[in-house]
């Protein structure tokens, strides 16, 4: 978390004035949902969208098509602000990984890297118990 923007005053009113040519697109793809967040290079969020906010509900949120629409929504909001280049960071094991990447490719934003940043513990916290279904 980058602290220090407080000195500039509240940035909420200045949101429309920001012109960011380069940013980072984070895709968090879990099994039940896909969240696409567009931030600047430092990590401050510009806009976000998810499969749930796009109108899908329940099991359909986890589908790659829902991820596609979420990515499309998020990028559309940001292309108006003048973003041309981006980096893509994909997190999580869900089905939305491919769908979101496809939509990002089709949106016309130039991206140089696609990275997988799924967090891997070096044997850290104990995960929840096995499901007995």
Partner 1 sequence: MAMAMAMAFSLSKSLSSLFLPSRSQPSLVSPPSLQLPVKKASTRVSSSLTTADEITAVTCPSLAYANTLFFKSGVYNAQVVVAEDEPEEKLLSRFRRAVFLAGVIQECRRRMFFESSQDKKKRKAREASQRNRKSCRGCDSSVKSTHLEAIKRFWKPYVVRRRPQPKVSAQEETPKKKDDEEDDNWELPEGDLS
- Of 5, 32, 84, 118, which one interacts with partner 1 (CB under 8 A)? 118
- The secondary structure of 5-74 as a DSSP string is GGGG---STTGGG---SEEEEEEEE-SS-EEEEEEETT--EEEEEETTTTT--GGGGGSHHHHHHHHHHH
Stretch touching partner 1 by CB under 8 A, among 6-14, 44-52, 74-82, 92-100: 92-100
The nearest distance, CB 76 to partner 1, in angstroms, is 18
Cβ proximity of 89 and 115 under 8 Å: yes
81: helix, strand or coil = coil
**# residues contacting partner 1 (CB under 8 A):** 28
The nearest distance, CB 50 to partner 1, in angstroms, is 20
Element of type H or E holding 86: strand 85-91
Is residue 80 within the footprint of partner 1 (CB under 8 A)? no
- Of 4, 19, 130, 133, which one interacts with partner 1 (CB under 8 A)? 130
Nearer to partner 1, 53 or 65 (CB): 65
Is residue 2 within the footprint of partner 1 (CB under 8 A)? no
């Amino acid at each position: 978390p980058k602290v220090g923007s407080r000195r500039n005053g509240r940035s909420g009113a200045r949101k429309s004035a920001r012109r960011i040519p380069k940013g980072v697109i984070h895709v968090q793809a879990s099994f039940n949902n896909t969240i696409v967040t567009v931030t600047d290079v430092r990590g401050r969020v510009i806009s976000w969208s998810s499969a749930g906010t796009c109108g899908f509900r329940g099991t359909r949120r986890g589908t790659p098509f829902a991820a596609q629409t979420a990515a499309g929504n998020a990028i559309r909001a940001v292309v108006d602000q003048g973003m041309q280049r981006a980096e893509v960071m994909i997190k999580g094991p869900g089905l939305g990984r491919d769908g979101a990447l496809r939509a990002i490719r089709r949106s016309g934003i130039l991206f140089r890297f696609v990275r997988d940043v799924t967090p891997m513990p070096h044997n850290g916290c104990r995960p929840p118990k096995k499901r007995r279904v």
